Amino acid sequence: MADLALFRQEAYRLLRQYWGYEDFRPRQLSIMEAVVEGRDVMAVLPTGGGKSLCYQLPALYLPGGALIISPLIALMNDQVAWARKRGIPAVALHSGMDPAILEQALERMSAGMYKLVYVSPERLRSTRFLEALAGWKFGFLAVDEAHCISQWGHEFRPAYLEIVHLRQAYPQMPVMAVTATATRQVREDIIRLLDLHHPFEVTGSFSRANIHYAVVRTEDKLHALLQIVKTIPGSKLVYCRDRRTTVQVARWLSEQGIPAAAYHAGLTYEEREQRQQAWLTGNTENMVCTNAFGMGIHKDDVRVVIHYHMPESLEAYFQETGRAGRDGLPAQATALVGLHDLDQLQKWVLSRYPDLETVRQVFASLMNYLQIPAGTGGGRAFDFYLPDFCQRFGYRPMVVQAVLRILEWEGWLYRTDAVVHPSVARFQISRSDLLELQQIYPLEASVAEILLRLYPGIADVPVAIDEGQIARHVGASRMQVSDALMQMHQMGWIMYRASYESPQLMLLADRPPAAALFLKAEHVHFLKERALERLRQVRQYLDATSCRMQVAAAYFGEQADDPCRHCDLCEQRMSVHSGSARLEDIMMRILELLRKPRTSDEIYRALPDIDRKKIRQVIDHLLAEAYIGMDPAGRLWVYNSSSRSNMRMAD
């Protein structure tokens, strides 16, 4: 039996040493105590609730450490970088690694040299990985983003179903499953499919009391967005559905004098790193991004998360809004919703489920693009550049993405997020030749000397190198070193391949003839119906008339008897109770003015005897209830003037 008193004492010491905190967040300590006692754990903690600490800290305390299953390479790399910065031995094992580096990491893992080992679920299919794992006496298994195991969830990933085999191979090993959002059905799936034995269960609320949730109905999202970012100081996130919109919105905000950066998966690794760091350090306050931004990024002082486009599920929405107010101070989560937004979102969701004949056609083109003959390719990873494939075969990117998703569900392949391949070099001349060239090419010769000093074996085999590290030793810029290495390559001194980034596809079975590609139509139909049901729940949240959090709580299976008092609808109702007659009078005067379209400023000028905050409150209420709308010029109008007499502020 574990000595919990000793663990608690050590846990607080580790918390101060590595995280710099004096106390744990709610439920963290009890979760860690359970795994230290050898119990399985099923934990649902909201975004910002400190899920990663729940498995990182026990890994430092227990002998061996922790094996962590994680779905995204970028997320794994971020957590490994965080750990190494604090002197914690950690590694991420993924398909994009150089084989020699991967083998070295596996040997170190087997020797027990790491406290944190992150792997993608697909890695569990590797015989070599399982052989190396057998030599490591790790303390427990952690499954991050555990909702990916459930077909009822919003991010089903078939490879997560492989995790149970690891559980069966180590039946006495405690398993900790963590996620940010999960319905009751998904939680039951996680417990069943991971074979958790009488787990210690913690279900934190998806809702955060310090976040004010609001929906703004508008046909002029840009001006509505501008009003929010101008009036709320501090860091902000603006989520858009596609890359083009992120660029357009960020550019428009900048033109209005509001500095903003766009972030999406189409940027280079260096561009993403630069923009992420600028936002994290506060040099850029406003980040306009797709859902490619946010996972694994820790910033406590985000004051508002704005959804320019709603995501297709409440799970995704509350995961993204949960990035606001992690410091516990007041924050906002605002959704901007146009008249036809949900119809467009439904079309987008349906486009993710093409007919099976389209799937077969794209699969055949894909095999030709990757040059994989029938009967081969199983178990191999291939670099895959989507724009090039679409241009060559004439497909729309959205269709190809949808087909790849179905092929992954059906177990034919899996996709990695973008993999950064490190720069590689190998010497092709002798040290004596190098001395002769030193007078003619001083910078290149200095770089060569540093290469030989920093990277033993580079004269014999290709070795991964770091241009930044070389630049620091030479006393030159990274760009100068990169140019020198390319010059050395062209002169024949070295073989040099600069780092590059590409997603990869792993074929899980040999390529079949196109006609033999087996696909289960009923499985795809089930997943499509689940996606449409999640979209219906989004609609219910946006169309709520009482408390938004009560609507969302019913979906997540939480008990919410009382209104939350921190959403826009509750706020309006509380304001009404303190001055109902006065607000209804203001409402009727505004509606009278809107016999013809007017801007908010025109209404302010027409009602000089009324406080502008009260006018704004009533306008927001009328927009939220869809009594009035707003055109692209910012003019307000009444949807249905004949129903004015039936309008009330709320009760």
DSSP string computed for 370-382: TT--TT--TT-EE
Q: What is the DSSP letter of 294?
A: -
- Can you count the helices (H) and strands (E) in the chain? 25, 24
> Of the ranges 111-115, 513-517, 612-616, which one carries the lowest mean pLDDT score?
513-517
> Of the ranges 325-329, 364-368, 413-417, which one carries the lowest mean pLDDT score?
413-417
pTM for this structure?
A: 0.72
25-to-32, 50, 516 alpha-carbon distances in Å: 12, 7, 53
Cβ atoms within 10 Å of 433's Cβ, excluding its own = 12
* Residue scoring higher pLDDT (433 or 86): 86
CATH topology of domain 4-203: Rossmann fold (3.40.50)
Is 1.20.1260.10 the CATH number for 347-419+503-519?
no
Please state the rounded mean pLDDT for residues 207-235. 91
Task: List, edge to edge, every strand of the sheet that includes 463-465.
Answer: 463-465, 423-427, 494-497
Cβ atoms within 10 Å of 467's Cβ, excluding its own = 21
| Closest CA relative to residue 78, chosen from 113, 112, 118, 46 | 118
Res 252 pLDDT > 50: yes
Q: Which CATH architecture has domain 568-646?
A: Orthogonal Bundle (1.10)
State the pLDDT at residue 212: 92
| Closest CA relative to residue 425, chosen from 394, 397, 393, 448 | 448
> Of the ranges 94-103, 371-380, 406-415, which one carries the lowest mean pLDDT score?
94-103
What percentage of the chain carries pLDDT values higher than 90? 46
Instruction: Examine domains 4-203 and 211-339+534-556 and report if their fold is the same.
Output: yes
Res 362 pLDDT > 90: yes
| Closest CA relative to residue 117, chosen from 135, 97, 142 | 142
What percentage of the chain carries pLDDT values higher than 70? 94
Most confident of 57-61, 265-269, 462-466, 570-574: 57-61
Residue 486 near residue 494, CB atoms below 8 Å: no
State the pLDDT at residue 113: 94
In which residue are the tokens 């990663």 written? 52
Res 594 pLDDT > 60: yes
State the pLDDT at residue 650: 44
State the pLDDT at residue 441: 86
- Convert the pLDDT of each residue in 90-134 to its tens digit: 999 986 677 778 889 999 999 999 999 999 888 888 888 999 999
In which residue are the tokens 């990869």 written? 504
Res 550 pLDDT > 60: yes
Name the band, by pLDDT with cuts 50, 70 and 90, for residue 272. confident
Count of positions (residues) in the chain: 651
Domain boundaries, the chain: 4-203, 211-339+534-556, 347-419+503-519, 423-498, 568-646
Q: What is the mean pLDDT of the chain?
A: 87
Non-local (6+) Cβ contacts of 620 within 8 A are 216, 568, 572
Q: How far apart are CA 240 and CA 308, in angstroms?
A: 5
Please state the rounded mean pLDDT for residues 41-62. 91
Res 63 pLDDT > 80: yes
Residue 350 near residue 342, CB atoms below 8 Å: no
State the pLDDT at residue 388: 87
Side chain identity, residue 519: L
Please state the rounded mean pLDDT for residues 342-363. 91
Question: Taking the domain 211-339+534-556, which CATH number applies?
Answer: 3.40.50.300
* Residue scoring higher pLDDT (285 or 440): 285
State the pLDDT at residue 139: 94
Burial class (CB in 10 A: 0-12, 13-18, 19+), 439: exposed
State the pLDDT at residue 644: 41
Please state the rounded mean pLDDT for residues 615-619. 86
Please state the rounded mean pLDDT for residues 592-598. 86
Name the band, by pLDDT with cuts 50, 70 and 90, for residue 634. confident
Non-local (6+) Cβ contacts of 650 within 8 A are 545, 569, 572, 573, 576, 621
| Closest CA relative to residue 247, chosen from 260, 236, 258 | 260
Name the band, by pLDDT with cuts 50, 70 and 90, for residue 573. confident
State the pLDDT at residue 642: 41
Burial 265-304 (b: 16+ CB within 10 A, else e): bbbeeeebeebbeebeeeebbbbbbbebbbbbbebeebbb
* Residue scoring higher pLDDT (613 or 309): 309
Most confident of 51-60, 518-527, 589-598: 51-60
Res 584 pLDDT > 80: no
Phi, psi at 362, each rounded to 5°? -65, -40
